[in-house]
Amino acid sequence: MRERQSNKSAHSIISGAAVGLGMGIVYCAWVGLLYAFRSHDSFEARGLQVKNLLLFYLVAGLACGAIVGGLRPWRSSLLGARVVGVIGMLPLAFGAEMLVKGDPRAWEAKHWILMVCFAAVIGVAMGGSFRTASTDQS
């Protein structure tokens, strides 16, 4: 029984990570199209390097997906699903803030607050869809 539960948890983490990575790949394709049609100058004007942006989307997608997958048991209630959404968005919010503001050790309090608020707003909004996706599988 315990081994089956462990396999189910591992499967949830892996499948969540795969979905997150897939979403990251979609965003990378979007960046590739923007780069192809607007050139790298539009990214650099905003202080972004394309290679860092691509890496960010892949790593954040993988991390967010793995977290949402790993916390699958919490998603049985709407409140739990929304908490999972907030926790799952933290790597994305942290990475986005790092991409724009650089080293977190140099951040001011407002940057940390912005990061947490971003994760909370987006995570709560997306949390309902995580519950819907998990109720058909027990």
> CA torsion 28→34→36→37, rounded to 10°?
160
- Number of structural domains (the chain) is 1
Q: What is the tens place of the pLDDT at every residue in 65-108? A: 999 999 988 888 899 999 999 999 999 899 888 888 888 888 99
Band of residue 5 on the pLDDT scale cut at 50, 70, 90: low
Rounded-to-integer distance, Cα 70 and Cα 11, Å: 9
Band of residue 132 on the pLDDT scale cut at 50, 70, 90: low
> Residue 41's domain spans which residues?
2-134
CB atoms within 10 A of CB 128: 13
Instruction: Look up tokens 């790993």; give the residue.
Output: 70
Q: What average pLDDT does the chain have?
A: 86
CB atoms within 10 A of CB 59: 16
